Structure 1
Amino acid sequence: METPKDPTSIDNRISEGLTRIAIAMRSDEWSKAEKAGLKPTQLAILEFLAGRDSARVKEIAAHLGVSQPTATDSIAALERKGLVAKASAPGDKRATAIHITAEGKAAFGSVSPIETAAMEAARSLSPGEQEGLLLSLVKMIRHLQEADAIPIQRMCTSCRYFRPYQHSGAAKPHHCNFVNAAFGRNELRIDCRDHETADPATRAATWDAFEKG
């Protein structure tokens, strides 16, 4: 079989590449979850809740990209294991919020440091390649957010504390007003527990400054 003279478009091939990586990551997720006696969705819920005070079922389902019934079933299983608990949602006692218990944090902590194939593959890249890939991922995630394909992620670029390129020409050009500290491009967060989503106008202005920088 000959190599086709007209390969598929580059965006299609990038998507194919990400799909291959996702296969390895799903395998990693199963391995990690099994070590904790959980299923991948259950472990993903613990990971989501570990950096939050609480969350509603709708938020959890949206973040994981699953249906609310699927999220509800997984939450019920975690509750039976004593890894999560339900309480009244902040500001609305009629609504229910889910929070991780001490046992849940211990279960998540027992697997979170595990080295994965995806992490090992990322480590095979040079520092410059890693930084470039991180920036590309931030841009792709931002596009998915704006297209409403995924909910707003807790990235630096969508946070009200983020100030891009405040330190011109420095090794650490960005500034985080939450900790009042400069940081480098390779330190951009994809999921920060201290994140506070900026309003749409601020997010747009921040992104414009980030891209121009």
Structure 2
Amino acid sequence: METPKNPTSVNHRIREGLSRIAMALRIDEWNRSKTSGVNPTQLAILDLLGGRQNGLAVKEIAANLGVSQPTATDSIAALERKGFVAKRSVGTDRRGVNVGLTPDGHSLLEVGEPTQSLAERTVEALTEHEQEDLLIMLVKMIRHLQEMDAIPIQRMCASCRYFAPFAHSDAAKPHHCNFVDAAFGQRDLRIDCREHEAADPASRAAIWDVFQQG
């Protein structure tokens, strides 16, 4: 088949590029799995629970990983048999159960971390300015997915009630985190913060407007 004289749409070519990056991420996941003794889905569950002291419900785990509840249930059961996760009651309702990491689960995550992944080495090939631009673009794309209800609200600065974008005139540290009461810069924006508390929809929209304008 001949290569067409005119390229496909830029949207299509960006999607092609993202699929190539996703391939490298899958390779990283399989490499970590080999050393951890769990499969990539199980490892993703451990990673997801790693920063959540109170654990998550099975439904939340499935939604965050983009898998069906039966798939999540099967993977959680396997991790439970291996002693890496445990179920715990939530509040006074015995029917409410969250899944959380055990000490062995935390240990596995620490041991399973590679010295440097393909994705990290690839990002390091970019200049600091390019890295910052890429981070901002990823925040924007994730935020768009959230607003379409394609993915759950992520623990990003841009969706957090503590985030005050462009609160300072300092170009190096324009943002403010009200949780730690400190200024920080663009390249310090977080995709997954353990202290994150989701802002209500109206506040989230207002925060985003200021972030965009800045």
TM-score by length of 2: 0.96
1:65 counterpart = 2:66: yes
CA distances 1:76-118 after superposition (whole Å, capped 9, x unpaired): 0110011100111236332111110000000011123531101
Contact between 2:32 and 2:114, CA under 8 Å: does it hold in 1?
Answer: no
Rounded to whole Å, the distance in 2 between the matches of 1:210 and 1:90 is 37
Runs of 4+ in 1 over 3 A off after TM superposition: none
Rounded to whole Å, the distance in 1 between the matches of 2:192 and 2:35 is 24
Rounded to whole Å, the distance in 1 between the matches of 2:84 and 2:97 is 16
Amino acid at match of 1:94: R
1:19 counterpart = 2:15: no
- After superposition, the CA RMSD in angstroms is 1.2
Q: How many residues in Structure 1 have an aligned counterpart in Structure 2?
A: 213
Partner of 1:46: 46
What fraction of aligned residue pairs are identical, expressed as a percent?
62
Rounded to whole Å, the distance in 2 between the matches of 1:126 and 1:170 is 19
Q: By how many angstroms is 1:177 displaced?
A: 0.6
Partner of 1:135: 136
Unpaired segments of 5 or more residues in structure 2? none
Partner of 2:118: 117
Q: By how many angstroms is 1:170 displaced?
A: 2.9
- Secondary structure class of the residue paired with 2:89: strand
Rounded to whole Å, the distance in 2 between the matches of 1:17 and 1:199 is 34
Correspondence list, 1:179-198, <5 A: 179-198=180-199
Contact between 2:24 and 2:119, CA under 8 Å: does it hold in 1?
Answer: yes
Q: By how many angstroms is 1:126 displaced?
A: 0.1
Unpaired segments of 5 or more residues in structure 1? none
Amino acid at match of 1:44: A
Contact between 1:32 and 1:114, CA under 8 Å: does it hold in 2?
Answer: no
